[in-house]
Amino acid sequence: MGGHQGLGLDTEAKRLRLLGIGHVKLRMHRALRGTPKAITVSREGQRWWVSIRCAEVPAQPLPATGQSVGIDLGVCALVATSDGELVREGRFAKKAQDRLVGAQRAVSTKERGSMHRRRACEAVGRAHRKVANQRKDLAHQVSRRLVNDHDLIVCEALRVPQMSRRPKPRPNGKGGFDRNGARAKAGLNRSIADAGWGMLRSMLVYKAEDAGRELIAVDPRHTSTRCASCGHTESENRVSQAVFRCRGCGHRDHADVNAARNILRAGRAQRASARAGLGN
């Protein structure tokens, strides 16, 4: 089976022909769908990985469920849904911080160019790969469950790179700088990276498309400060990271769940507006 210059794949013999290298043994994780067009070979530690991109991949639509959900992405709970579910797993880098720091410290004590230093560097790589694999596995599980159970999924149109920018310096006019919250922002950036919002969002996009589900991204402004019960919007409504208490009607809820319900309502309104525009 082929389709790309330099690529020859024999799925029965489990062998891959690479241009300039020849045939190599291959362990297939899943059957190919569509026409192979490009290949990427990468190395992680002592392992090699091959990714094959295919075109004209047939969709596999899932049966309708009649269910819709809004999701709010956070750092304390990875996902909060409009149904009240909280996905608290994750934060793998924080949980593995001691192990990561210890592995990195071991590298600094080894002589450069020595076999001991090389092994210590490999240990650091293994520790980081374990964290990355845990984060990826959780994203796969959460995105698959959301796509399987809902016809409509609404999320925020978050700009993760912009959210992770370092704060600008604040010159004080005396040759120094005033505090700009850089230390607190660095901690938030680590939490955002550890949550893996971008990875989860990309998985939702391609899985929803393959399953024939509808994925809508809405403006995130005011979703965390607007009451999902009465619509009153005020920054003081969000008492803490987890507590929402409306100063207008007294409605109480988990702050992320309240935001997820606002997100779902905004997504439904956006879809209705788009359909009305098509009907005119």
| H-assigned helices in the chain | 92-95, 97-108, 115-149, 160-163, 182-195, 197-211, 255-279
Long-range (24+ apart) CB contacts under 8 A made by 91-97 are: 91/191, 91/194, 91/195, 92/131, 92/134, 92/135, 92/138, 92/194, 93/131, 93/135, 93/190, 93/193, 93/194, 94/190, 94/191, 94/194, 96/127, 96/130, 96/131
User: Which of 188, 206, 216 is closest to 74 using CA atoms?
Assistant: 188
Q: How far apart are the first and last CA of the chain?
A: 48
Q: What is the CA radius of gyration of the chain?
A: 24
Distance CA 159, CA 221 (A): 12
**What is the maximum span of the chain, computed from C-alpha positions, in angstroms?**
73
Do 126 and 133 form a contact (C-beta atoms < 8 A)?
A: no
Cβ count within 10 A of residue 155: 26
Sign of CA dihedral 135, 32, 51, 197: negative
Q: Are strands 152-156 and 68-73 parallel, antiparallel or unpaired?
A: parallel
139: left (phi over 0), alpha (psi -120 to 50) or beta: alpha
Catalytic residue list: 72, 156, 256
Q: Is 217 helix (H, G, I), strand (E, B) or coil?
A: strand
